[in-house]
Structure 1
Amino acid sequence: MVETSSSVVAREAEHFGKMAGDWWDPDGSSAMLHKLNPVRLAYVRDRVDQHWQKDERDLKPLAGKRALDVGCGAGLLCEPLARLGAEVTGIDAAGELITTARAHAAASGLAIDYRAVPVERLDGDYDLVTAMEVIEHVAEPAVFLRSLAARLALGGLLILSTPNRTAWSKLLTITLAEGVGRIPRGTHDYDSFIPPERMQTLVAAAGLRCEDIEGIAFTPARGLHLSEDLRLNYLVAAVQG
């Protein structure tokens, strides 16, 4: 696959597009994303503060920065990024999700540039690039990561998240969560999960340097939370190598 090809898998875009109607319902088909989002956002905020040496009390740490959320869905991460001061662009392969995202942002009084386009066909550069729970759904992870790197401005920060390829992740994410309907059936393919070791290799091959890896763990007492335990899910922060 050449660099200008799209890593979008049509059946994946169709699957997620069907979730557009209740995307913003915390008890709907995207309920697990609603639970994940505060954890991911806390990590993003911490890495932003460290990368740009911001005061953690600053309400607008991304003021003056351009942010790109790849695989944005209907805007769960885009909207808080905009509230943190960023000029936000959100892209997704599912047009239905982009329509929902635009409507929700407008109702929330937020100006976010939403586009139904794959990252490989996007121009421009961004200070912050995020791709949460996306890389396990693309056709070519290596091509996808190179495309993310290509959109990163000089001195920029890339953050992504993905399930680990472990028995624990398969049990919680597919057997249990999809089994009881917390995640729509067919959302995940275990064979597409990427272990951290391979992810670091892919990041390096894209010309980036991995700065940090942190887990998202689950316990009945705490729910989903940031952790040194990488078995379930993990976040990666990378910069230009």
Structure 2
Amino acid sequence: MPQAGTMLGAEIAKFDALAARWWDPDGPMKPLHRMNPLRTGWIAERLASHHGRDASAPDALAGLTLLDVGCGAGLASEALARRGAAVTGLDAAGGALQAARSHAAAAGLPITYREGLPEDLPPEAGFDAVIALEVIEHVADRDAFLAALARAAKPGGLVFLSTLNRTPRSFLMAKLGAEYLLRMLPIGTHDWKMFVTPSELGTGLRGAGLAVADIAGMTMDALTGRWHASRDVAVNYILMARKP
């Protein structure tokens, strides 16, 4: 499959093929299910704080607009919608979006799902926050992708990304370990050469007119399978940037 804008066609097809099992907590997306509370909690805390709100309140994000780029079947979209955010999920994988719409409807969550790419959004889109979680390591044109995220955010808005660092440890743990040894992910899920270092991501974000404001490692406890924020960014990390 050819390239589709900033996205690689083969990457879109890869995740579209997993649509039917996306919401199975013990299926091929099990790592994302385990990671999701950390990712969305980290985002919600900083987004609420940015707007002077109590992050612990059930509706801490009420009235705030959020764009989830590469939303898949909606794991992060639903978690943030439950905190009150008005969420728009965007993905180029039609099958995953069908699963997202069905799951949100069954849960009674008013999430808007659109098929497409961030560069196709109108200039006036303007979201309070834009997130792209475990997406940038699958894109064809990283700079164009980051520029599209920046355009989608309002002035003063926040942009959040989570991804994988390109280090020897990430090759051993996230590629060989997760895909081949533990079979936590389908083989071929990741291309280690496309992993992104924090320095590279920071440079790209600055080039898109954004200022990096916070970063944390995401670390899994091998005994419990739970994820927590840490200072160790050698494998997984999450980052927040601000738009002037």
Normalising to structure 1: TM-score of the pair? 0.95
Residue matched to 1:162: 163
Distance in structure 2 (CA, Å) of the matches to 1:31 and 1:168: 21
Letter in 1 for 2:165: N
Judge which range, 54-63 or 68-77, deviates more: 54-63
Alignment of 1:42-121 (within 5 A): 42-121=41-120
Aligned to 2:207: 205
State the percentage of identical aligned residues: 43
Distance 2:57 2:29 in 1: 30
Deviation at residue 82 of structure 1 after TM alignment: 1.0
Q: 1:129 maps to which residue?
A: 130
How many residue pairs were aligned?
Answer: 237
- How big is the shift at 1:221? 4.0
Range moving further from structure 2, 168-177 or 219-228:
219-228
2:185 aligned partner: 183
Corresponding residue for residue 6 of structure 2: 7
State how far apart, in whole Å, the 2-side matches of 1:161 and 1:10 are: 21
The answer (yes or no) to whether the contact 1:217–1:231 under 8 Å persists in 2 is no
Aligned pairs (5 A) from 1:35-46: 35-46=34-45
What residue is the counterpart of 1:23 in the other structure?
A: 22
Please state whether the residue corresponding to 2:156 is helix, strand or coil.
Answer: strand
Q: 1:194 aligns with which of 193, 196, 201?
A: 196
Cα deviation, residue 56, structure 1: 2.7
Q: Which amino acid aligns with 2:135?
A: V
For structure 2, the 5+ residue unaligned runs are none
Aligned CA RMSD, in angstroms, stands at: 1.2
Q: Name whichever of 178-187 and 206-215 sits farther off.
A: 178-187
Q: Distance in 2 between matches of 1:174 and 1:139?
A: 19
Alpha-carbon contact 2:49-2:55 (below 8 Å) kept = no
**Residue from 218, 222, 242 that aligns with 1:239:** 242
Point out 4+ residue stretches in structure 1 off by more than 6 angstroms: none
Q: Distance in 1 between matches of 2:64 and 2:222?
A: 37
2: distance between equivalents of 1:214 and 1:104?
30
The alignment partner of 1:77 has SS state of helix
Distance in 1 of aligned mates of 2:132 and 2:165: 15
Q: Give the equivalent residue in structure 2 for 1:174.
A: 175
SS at match of 1:103: helix
Query: What secondary structure is seen at the aligned counterpart in 2 of 1:212?
Result: strand
Please give the per-residue CA displacement for 1:59-80, whole angstroms capped at 9, x wherever unaligned: 1121111110000000000011
